[in-house]
Amino acid sequence: MTRSSIPLLRSWTALGLLLWAGGARPDSGSMAASPEPSPEVIHELDRAMARLAAKVSPAVVQVQATGYHPPAAASPCEPLIVARQRSIGSGVIVDPGGYIVTNHHVVHGAQRVQVLLPGSTDAPGDDDSARRLFEATVVGSEPDLDLAVLKIDARGLPALALDSARAVHKGELVFAIGSPEGLASSITMGIVSSAARSVEGPGKAMNFIQTDAPINPGNSGGPLVNASGVLVGINAFIVSLSGGSQGLGFAIPSPMVRLAFDGIRKHGRLQVVEVGAVSQSITPILAAALGLPRNYGVIVSDVALGGAARAAGVEPGDVIVSLDGKPIDNMADLTSAHYLHPLGEPVLLVLLRGDRRLSLKIAAPEMSPPAEQLLDLASPEAGMVRRLGILGVDVTAKLHGVIPPLRVGSGVVVAARTLDATRLDTGLLPGDVIHAVNRTGVDSLAGLRQAIGAVKAGDPVAIQIERQGKFMYLSFEME
């Protein structure tokens, strides 16, 4: 069986189901005795598919991300060499003003992102000259949900509405649109294999829509729509031994997409509550060893000191039954319920503690991203290092829990970049810890200013930093 024949067989299978529903039903006799399919039914199916493609395709874009990455075939034994590479994914316009949703992994690490709008027709001879290429800005990204929002300078674009109330059901016909292998505006058909499949995706464990609609590399970020053309999910990843479609595709459900889009568009990020508890999956062995009331689900393994969960009475060893009325049978259920919880309202948690069933209300605050926590600890007056264009914070005990444990217990943490040195490309990023300047150790903001003050304009500078547990040097010429 050739690769190209697989989508064709899927299409004829779906066609047979529709013909059966329309009256061309086989009886217990031979197939020759069956009624002939009505040509009107076939033509109506054909027209319905054409209308669906015409409705959805204009809102589906190709996303071209350019950045520096190791070659895909690089050997782990060879020295690390990065090369400029371009990857191609998909996206869907969700607002006529130029807002586009795609996957985080499509644009992660990109220095340049471009969006290619589809042409006005899909007729033979149509090529890239009929399409429009736009420079795109990444408005924000949520790695844990594998979602990102892009913005292009365009108005009046065709868009697909994000209907977070539209639920999918098992067996429902769905269609995937995108740029598999760079082939823009490709559409494939399948069914919903599972409306809530618990798997570990590119981000956290979540409940995904599983579909057998053929999805291949390049479909990432494109829409999954139902037979009415309603966006029900964003295609995210496949499970495959060959690298191509094996009928195991997964899409992020539209309620999660709507939540992420609204948060990123309004605030540049998704606003999530901080419950202050750490959880993990229950296994039969863990349940037997701890004498838990059930051998599946989720157990609280830790409760943060001073956190909202501890204040509400949550304890390690508690088994989570439900969150906001949603049953919690696995970590994917917990992740989805946590992200969908509305900010500003108490978290309603039902727990099992031994043979007792507890209902708790947790006044959970908004989770602060690490960068914002650093900014909260930084003083604009005391933390400014103008020659480097940064706002810094001394490494002290107050940073415990805000930054990862350091290999050197002193230095200056970069809380943010400022506009004082926009022309000076130091390479410093928020979260970097500065330990030395030109072989002079730095253990405080005062020491950093003194070391930088001794450098003259035009002199070379080498800053030793600790980034994600690794030491490295950043070099540049001082202005």
User: Do residue 444 and residue 470 come from a single domain?
Assistant: yes
pLDDT average, residue stretch 173-201: 89
| Confidence (pTM) | 0.68
393: its two tokens? 């914070």
Known catalytic residue at 435? no
Q: Say whether pLDDT at 316 is over 80.
A: yes
Residue 32: inside a domain: no
Residue 25: inside a domain: no
Residue 26: inside a domain: no
State the DSSP H helix or E strand holding residue 99, giving kind and residue range, or none if neither. strand 99-102
Which has the minimum average pLDDT: 12-26, 105-119, 332-346, 399-413?
12-26
User: Do residue 281 and residue 261 come from a single domain?
Assistant: no
Residue 193: helix, strand or coil by DSSP?
strand
pLDDT of 198 reads: 82
pLDDT of 301 reads: 94
Number of separate domains in the chain: 3
Residue 74: inside a domain: no
Known catalytic residue at 146? yes
Please report which confidence band the pLDDT of residue 163 belongs to, taking 50, 70 and 90 as the band edges: confident
Q: Which of 239, 268, 297 is the last residue of a domain?
A: 268
Q: Which of 301, 334, 362 is the last residue of a domain?
A: 362
Known catalytic residue at 144? no
d(CA 204, CA 306) in angstroms, rounded, equals: 25
Q: Say whether pLDDT at 46 is over 90.
A: no
User: Do residue 116 and residue 133 come from a single domain?
Assistant: yes
pLDDT of 403 reads: 75
User: In this predicted model, which residue has the larger pLDDT, 459 or 29?
Assistant: 459
Q: Which of 57, 87, 146, 341 is catalytic?
A: 146
d(CA 89, CA 182) in angstroms, rounded, equals: 8
pLDDT of 83 reads: 54
Interval 133-153: pLDDT, tens: 999 998 888 888 999 999 999
Quick one: residue 146, left, alpha or beta (phi over 0 = left, psi -120 to 50 = alpha)? left
User: What share of the chain in percent tops pLDDT 90?
Assistant: 49
pLDDT of 13 reads: 40
- Structural domain span for residue 227: 1-15+38-69+81-268
Q: Domain of 337: which CATH number? A: 2.30.42.10
pLDDT of 408 reads: 86
Q: Say whether pLDDT at 293 is over 60.
A: yes
pLDDT average, residue stretch 220-247: 88
Which has the minimum average pLDDT: 211-215, 317-321, 363-367, 402-406?
402-406
User: Do residue 167 and residue 230 come from a single domain?
Assistant: yes
Residue 29: inside a domain: no
pLDDT average, residue stretch 457-477: 89
User: Do residue 146 and residue 5 come from a single domain?
Assistant: yes
Q: Which of 240, 268, 296 is the last residue of a domain?
A: 268
d(CA 178, CA 133) in angstroms, rounded, equals: 16
3-state secondary structure 28-88: CCCHHHCCCCCHHHHHHHHHHHHHHHHHHHHHEEEEEEEEEECCCCCCCCCCCCCEEEEEE
Q: Say whether pLDDT at 351 is over 90.
A: yes
d(CA 343, CA 272) in angstroms, rounded, equals: 7
pLDDT of 232 reads: 95
Which has the minimum average pLDDT: 25-29, 107-111, 183-187, 316-320?
25-29
| Mean pLDDT taken over the chain | 83
Q: Say whether pLDDT at 368 is over 80.
A: no
d(CA 113, CA 105) in angstroms, rounded, equals: 12
User: Do residue 339 and residue 294 come from a single domain?
Assistant: yes
Question: Rg of the chain's alpha carbons, rounded to an integer?
Answer: 27
User: Do residue 56 and residue 131 come from a single domain?
Assistant: yes
Interval 369-390: pLDDT, tens: 666 667 667 777 788 898 898 8
User: Do residue 145 and residue 251 come from a single domain?
Assistant: yes
User: Do residue 356 and residue 468 come from a single domain?
Assistant: no
Q: Which of 141, 185, 220, 279 is catalytic?
A: 220
Q: Where are the beta strands (DSSP E) in 108-172?
A: 112-117, 132-142, 147-152
Residue 20: inside a domain: no
User: Do residue 98 and residue 192 come from a single domain?
Assistant: yes
User: Do residue 62 and residue 204 come from a single domain?
Assistant: yes
pLDDT of 127 reads: 53
Residue 472: inside a domain: yes
User: In this predicted model, which residue has the larger pLDDT, 466 or 36?
Assistant: 466
pLDDT average, residue stretch 104-117: 88
Residue 208: inside a domain: yes
385: its two tokens? 């290092």
- Dihedral angle of Cα 27, 33, 37, 39, to the nearest 10 degrees: -160
User: Do residue 383 and residue 417 come from a single domain?
Assistant: yes
Please report which confidence band the pLDDT of residue 396 belongs to, taking 50, 70 and 90 as the band edges: confident
For the range 125-133, what are the long-range contacts, defined as Cβ-Cβ under 8 Å and sequence gap of 24 or more? 131/184
Please report which confidence band the pLDDT of residue 415 belongs to, taking 50, 70 and 90 as the band edges: confident
Q: Domain of 135: which CATH number? A: 2.40.10.120
Which has the minimum average pLDDT: 17-31, 32-46, 132-146, 238-252?
17-31
Q: Which of 104, 105, 338, 435 is catalytic?
A: 105
